[in-house]
Amino acid sequence: MLKIALVVNEPPPYRIPVFNLIAAVPGVQLQVIFCCRREPNRFWDLPAFEFDHAFLRERITTVNGRYIHNNPDVLLALSRFNPDVVVSNGFNPTHLYALAWTLLRRKQFVPMTDGTLNSEQRLSKLHKKIRRFTYARSASYIAASNGGIALYQQYGIDQSRCFKSCLCIDNSRFDTAIKVADKPYDFIFCGRIEPKKNADFALRVAARTAQLLSRQLRILFVGSGSEESAVRRLANQIAAHVESHFHGFASQRDLPALYQSARVFLFPTSADVWGVVANEACAAGLPVLVTPYAGVAGELVVDDLNGFICPLDTAQWAERAASLLGDPQRLQNFGMQSRRLAGDYRFEQAAQGIVDACKLAVYCKSKKNTRSQHALGRR
């Protein structure tokens, strides 16, 4: 029996189905250890837990808008379960305690990252040093994307020891064919309305596109955040060109219909290690306009195939958006490609990547022990 412990910050809805699948693998015993039940800025609807799990006593500190988990009791939780492999998805103190536990107990440690070369290029020397220390004591590695595997390679890790566990959704929930003519909105923006998400930029793109097409366009905003008032004020200023609707926070069950109500998804993020909203949009058959600063760029969203990858330049985005909205056949073709590409990102694939990484880690330990025994025998 292969015993795997996963130490993660909180239960995200797009990872729980993956954990359910791992728990169902014959010969695998899984326990997921959560640092908290929910981080303060999350309002997710969660699917059923079909795996063994534990919640640590919550100890969260906010630093520059980021939540830092410091749960020493992870050591006791790991000792109770006594796994062969510990998989950890971060470098908070809690994750480093888990690493220390594996070193003391001579167990295997497998890091798992959503990060990319782009997202980690500004890390401090201390953060990079911690990663080098961790990676040097790991036998296998898990990344959410090709960008994550490239990140590992920058640390000198061989690609053969890297496994991909993609970020994905239940594509079937979003895959409902609706005629373009029946969609009330030209654009949809879905996400937190915060500075790095650039909802105001999406609004300016819509206004410029309306000028290029010489007609009023409609945009739907799904989500809320600290910038919502400012975006609403801008919407009032450009109402002659763009009719804006603000839905507010949406539950998981409401999202498919909201995506299906629009023709093009705008994702003008300044920083996203991946961007699960793009999975949702692609599964719904929408072309995606995205910046190079999202992990999906060049992987799930391929330039001039199912969307466009552009810097934050209003004129470029508007030109490309107009090329889609002004050509129904091209819009349909891009949407079909989005659905096709989204089909490559599945829960089964994500679960298999984690299991395979853990099996390699245990195999490496077994091989190392065998070599040590042979060396002792020759003495």
Evaluated on CA atoms 67, 259, 307, 112, the torsion sign reads positive
Break the chain into its structural domains and give their ranges.
2-168+346-378, 172-342
Whether 198 has a pLDDT exceeding 60, the answer reads: yes
Q: Identify the band that residue 368 occupies on the pLDDT scale cut at 50, 70 and 90.
A: low
- What does the DSSP assignment read for 174-215? T-----GGG-SEEEEEES--SGGG-HHHHHHHHHHHHHHHTS
Let me know if 125 is exposed, middle or buried by CB neighbors in 10 A (0-12, 13-18, 19+).
exposed
User: H helices within the chain, ranges in order?
Assistant: 16-23, 74-81, 93-105, 125-136, 146-154, 199-213, 228-237, 255-260, 276-283, 314-325, 328-342, 347-378
Amino acid at 76: L
Which of 187, 195, 178 has its CA nearest to residue 222? Answer: 187
Mean pLDDT of 28-37: 96
Higher pLDDT, 41 or 231: 231
Q: Does CATH number 3.40.50.2000 belong to domain 172-342?
A: yes
Structure tokens of 269? 């993020």
Whole-angstrom distance, CA of residue 1 vs CA of residue 67: 35
Domains 2-168+346-378 and 172-342 share a fold: yes
Count CB neighbours of 286 within 10 A: 29
Q: Identify the band that residue 369 occupies on the pLDDT scale cut at 50, 70 and 90.
A: low
Whether 181 has a pLDDT exceeding 90, the answer reads: no
Whether 373 has a pLDDT exceeding 60, the answer reads: no
Q: Identify the band that residue 66 occupies on the pLDDT scale cut at 50, 70 and 90.
A: confident
In degrees rounded to 5, what are phi and psi of residue 197? Answer: -90, -20
pLDDT number for residue 375: 39
Mean pLDDT of the chain: 93
Mean pLDDT of 29-35: 98
Please list the helix, strand and coil fractions of the chain in percent, rounded to the nearest 5, in that order: 40, 20, 35
Whole-angstrom distance, CA of residue 44 vs CA of residue 64: 23
Mean pLDDT of 219-233: 96
pLDDT number for residue 252: 87
In degrees rounded to 5, what are phi and psi of residue 34? Answer: -95, 135
Which of 328, 294, 246, 252 has its CA nearest to residue 43? Answer: 252
pLDDT number for residue 377: 42
Burial 175-185 (b: 16+ CB within 10 A, else e): eeeeeeeebeb
pLDDT number for residue 42: 76
pLDDT number for residue 76: 98
Whole-angstrom distance, CA of residue 87 vs CA of residue 41: 25
pLDDT number for residue 169: 96
Whole-angstrom distance, CA of residue 46 vs CA of residue 258: 19
For 227-279, the pLDDT digits (tens) are 999 999 999 999 999 999 999 999 889 999 999 999 999 999 999 999 999 99
Contact 165, 354 (CB under 8 A): yes
Contact 54, 41 (CB under 8 A): no
Cα 175 versus chain centre, distance: 20
Q: For residue 21, give Cα distances in angstroms to 17, 62, 350.
A: 6, 33, 9
pLDDT number for residue 365: 73
**Contacts from 309-316 at CB under 8 Å and sequence distance 24+?**
312/198, 312/201, 312/268, 312/270, 314/201, 314/204, 314/205, 314/208, 315/208
Mean pLDDT of 334-356: 97
pLDDT number for residue 117: 87
Return the CATH number of 2-168+346-378, one of 3.40.50.2000, 3.40.50.1100, 3.30.9.10, 3.30.450.40: 3.40.50.2000
